[in-house]
A and B are shown apart, each in its own frame.
Chain A
Amino acid sequence: MSVTYLDAIREAQARALAEDPRVFIYGQDVGAFGGAFKATKGLSAMHPGRVMDAPISEDAIIGLGVGAAMEGLRPIIEMQFADFSTVAFNQIVNQAATLFWRTNVPCPITVRLPFGGTSGSGPFHSQCMEAIYAHYPGLIVLTPGTVEDAYSMLLEAVAIDDPVIFCEHKLLYYHLKADRLPTEALPVGKARIAREGRDMTIVTYSAMLHEALAAADELAPEGYQIEVVDLRSIKPLDTDTVMASVARTGRLLCVGESWPWGGVTAEVVARVAQEGFGLLDAPPQRLNAKDTPVPYHPNLWAAHRPTARRIAAAARNLLSL
């Protein structure tokens, strides 16, 4: 039996609904239809009244979730695409993110954002929103890059007493598979060494994890051992694991699928430069998508985002410094 990344997300929600009567799911087309990506397939039949279709009203969807969370429920909100969460931005960053700090009343809402580029999706169904949300105090931002993490981190997200932005990469939905669902997991807030190496550290997350691992494979025959750190969680960001890796390798390349201005890769480089400057044998490097909206055509899309080839090229350049 094999389990896809998408199966893991569905199974995590099925388990959360079964184990915790406070959990409900709210979002567009999530009910009988089972969601645009089928992440809630069959759940409304199993839990009548607890998997609810919402009108196309992202602002009100999050607002309702916040109100329900205030009252002790644990809503899981599906934004049909992460890109559409811009309509709910006010509710997420001003209402949900500030609630506990203002009132001492927790806001345990999980917002699932199907995000990231897939071929043919274009500018409004491909965006990476993690850095925007991580910027705001009061939010937890998770970016699972494996089937196991998709499952365990979503379950953990529902249990966390703060608003969680759960960024699930659409490119991984069907292609990424595991043998089974995990029975144990690293906690939220811990990064993972996805591949050990001594020559250079690549810090990345989500779908770029797999591009980075492929780049490391590509560089192995050339005699380079690349260490790959999967951040798993953007906020909190596990600086300790990153720093320990850089201490071993002396070289840092940060790879993200988001746009180049600011963001996760800039944050990691800033932290390493500030706290670990002496560990570095070469200037820390970043690799991001191009600074344009995400293009539609596969030729353009493939050139817009970092790929294993571009990562390997950036790594060779860094190794030569």
Chain B
Amino acid sequence: MVRTALKPGTAEEPSALSQVYLKAFRFMLLSRILDEKFASLYRAGKIHGGVFLGRGQEALSASIGVSLKKGDVFAPLIRDLAGRLAFGEPILDAVRTYMGSPLGPMRSRDGNVHRGRIRDGILPMISHLGAMISVVNGTLLARRFHGMDNVVGVASIGEGATSTGAFHEAMNQAAVEKLPLVMVVANNQYAYSTPNHRQFACRSLVDRAVGYGIEGHEVDGTDLGACLRVVGEAVARARSGRGPQMVVAELLRLCGHGEHDDSSYVDPKLKASRLGRDCLKAAEEEVIRRGWTGPETIAAWRAEAMQKVDEAVATVSRESPPDPYAENWCALCSRHLSEGYEL
């Protein structure tokens, strides 16, 4: 097992670091603004079903997105809007799926965070999130069959999903097949309302990497610089053929499980601790402290992001809802084998 942590004053080339840091920061900003829009649309009754925000997890999530390349695979967590955007998911996909537009990738059949574009490497999750890991394994195996190396798959889950049997089976499978899987665990201290001490009993979830015979890394999930470095390194190691990597990020969910949840169960001491700091605010302070850009530029980026979000929402608001009479009520690709209940 390898422990990696960001050392202050790292020898990384400053301009390259600032470039990737600023890129990730802008996706964090865009994702926060889009999330806030979803929350307000939810409160206004414009979104049917749940809304799940990434507040507090954007640094880790954006680090995944900017570490991946075209041709890679990403199976996101429900709080991975920043990572999705950074990996190339169009804003419209998120807005259309939340607002139920038939023009979205899920065509009104599934909503909110259950979206993706398989052909672009973004896997749409089922609700049983641990079950997505072995699916990523399958896509990586297929790429190996097709003679494609230099690819990586990231599966992103919370600490809660590490308790599932599916997690264990898939981690072991990836290790046996030596697949280029990067398992990112966002330990946000609560799985819905269940605190860590009711979820697992090991010192740190990263210790589980030893059991699978893979490399494990811990990172402060509130620190964008650390996340970029640790996630980036794990992705690079997987890409170079070192087998599966596990990254465990410590952070705190700064919102409810969904917008229906007031998260009153979150321990105030945790909120007051370093874990409870807002990663977006911390990143903004870091950008300014390092002199990579000024408050005026950040304000302009914020305004630009708000405009993009408003435009997307305006576009989708004009789109017609799905028509149940025009819906193709057939679950099979082989239509001729359908039983014809829809008739």
Contact = CB atoms under 8 A, between A and B. Distances in A.
Interface string B22-57: 000000000000000000000000000000000000
Contact of B173 (A64, A107, A137, A160): A64
A102 B339 contact: no
Contacts of B140: 67
A59 B165 contact: yes
A87 B146 CA distance: 29
Contacts of B134: 57, 59-64, 66-67, 91
B142 interface: yes
Interface string B304-334: 0000000000000000000000000011111
A240 to B, nearest CB: 11
B135 A64 contact: yes
A162 interface: yes
A140 B337 contact: yes
Interface string B125-140: 0111001111111111
A103 B138 contact: no
Interface in A22-79: 24, 54-55, 57-73, 75
A66 B109 contact: no
Contacts of A102: 106, 109-110, 114, 124
A104 B39 CA distance: 29
A106 interface: yes
Contact of B334 (A59, A71, A162): A162
Nearest to A22: B145
B193 interface: no
A170 interface: no
Interface in A234-250: 235-237
A59 B131 contact: yes
Nearest to B165: A59
Contacts of A189: 336-337
Given A70-B118, A102-B106, A64 B141 contact: yes
A201 B313 CA distance: 60
B124 A64 contact: no
Contacts of A105: 118-119
Contacts of A138: 331-332
Interface range on chain A: under 10, 10 to 19, 20 to 34, or 35 or more?
35 or more
Among A71, A73, A95, the most chain B Cβ lie within 10 Å of the Cβ of A71
Interface residues of B, number: 45
Contacts of B169: 55, 57-60, 63
A45 B152 CA distance: 30
A71 B136 CA distance: 11
A300 B98 CA distance: 56
A65 B106 contact: no
Interface in A172-227: 188-189
Nearest to B341: A137
Given A63-B170, A97-B331, A162-B334, A90 B142 contact: no
A67 B331 contact: no
B138 A69 contact: yes
Interface string A101-116: 1111111000000000
Given A90-B131, A94-B131, A188-B337, A60 B139 contact: no
Interface of B: 105-107, 109-110, 114, 116, 118-119, 123-124, 126-128, 131-143, 145-146, 165-166, 169-170, 172-173, 176, 330-334, 336-339
Q: Which 9 A-B pairs have the closest CB atoms?
A: A67-B138, A63-B134, A71-B142, A57-B169, A60-B169, A137-B331, A60-B134, A138-B331, A64-B138
16 contacts: A55-B169, A55-B173, A55-B176, A58-B169, A59-B131, A63-B138, A64-B135, A67-B136, A71-B139, A90-B128, A94-B131, A95-B126, A97-B331, A138-B332, A162-B334, A162-B337
